[in-house]
Amino acid sequence: MKKVITYNLNGIRSAMSKGWLDWVNIVNPDVICVQEIKAHAEQLNLKEFNERGYYNYWYSAEKKGYSGVAIFTKQEPDHVEYGWDYDDKEGRVIRADFGDVSIISVYIPSSTSGEERLMFKMDWLARFQNYIDKLKKTRPNLIICGDYNICHKPIDIHNPISNANSPGFLPIERAWIDGFMKTGFIDSLRHFNPNPHQYTWWSFRANARANNKGWRIDYNLVSEPMEKSMKQAYILPEAKHSDHCPMVTEFDF
């Protein structure tokens, strides 16, 4: 059994100060994909990861204290790809290959800062779709873990009516993730759990997390050839090292 987790940490140093590494020991994932690390590897004591049995691979943004993705894994990958066929100065994509399975940690841009950033995001998404379409031809067994910064359906947001025009739930964004899934990916959480109120991010405002007024913007999307290897998927809302919570998918491969 392989346990794969995605977790936006909103700053890995902040998360570590809140006991994140002790939590990793307890939950014991085989692979953990993290986003928004807001750090470079040289800013941390990597022995702390090695002592817990994890190889660690980082792809940080050029800008200090911003964005960035990483993969921590108990099994050493055959290959690690840093970035993709895009001038990725924001550190948003890293891929690890294990035999015929590839795991990606992705941090899709937000669109909260206005029309210009939304256009950047939509261009980024189109390029990412092309990258994945090409990658699938040689690496068909894909697990794309990450913060997509998009709620897919009304069930994935606490108030779809009042948020109808909110960045992250805009029709153009929702149409993209819907189309992306239809190119051959399974929403692993919804594959096992059709229930409402399954959220992975909460605003720091208005006591949103305590009242579970959240958004589901973190996904482990699994390519269709791997459907039978999925065994269960769930979120862990009790983990509170960030304004996000972890999303877990377990596999038998």
Query: What are residue 158's phi and psi, to 5 degrees?
Result: -70, -30
Owning domain of residue 166: 2-251
> How many domains does the chain fold into?
1
The answer to whether residues 94 and 67 touch, using CB atoms and an 8 Å cutoff, is no
- For the record, the structure tokens of 82 come out as 């840093």
- DSSP of 176-231: HHHHHHHTTEEEHHHHH---S---SEE-SSTTTTTTT-EE--EEEEEEGGGGGGEE
Cα separation, 7 vs 130, whole angstroms: 25
* 167: CATH: 3.60.10.10
Cα separation, 9 vs 230, whole angstroms: 25
**Mode of pairing for the β-strands spanning 141-147 and 101-107:** parallel
What number is the average pLDDT over the span 3-9?
Answer: 98
If we measure between CA atoms, which residue out of 48, 46, 40 comes closest to residue 69? 40
pLDDT tens digits for 84-94? 988 889 999 99
What number is the average pLDDT over the span 208-215?
Answer: 96
Reported as type and span, the H/E element at residue 125 is helix 115-138
* Catalytic residue (choose from 30, 88, 147, 187): 147
Our answer to whether residue 147 is catalytic in this structure is yes
Coil, strand or helix at 139: coil
pLDDT tens digits for 89-130? 999 999 999 999 999 999 999 998 889 999 999 999 999 999
pLDDT tens digits for 160-190? 999 999 999 999 999 999 999 999 999 999 9
Q: Which residues contact 117 (CB under 8 A, 6 or more apart)?
A: 109, 110, 111
Cα separation, 161 vs 89, whole angstroms: 35
Q: How many residues does the chain have?
A: 253
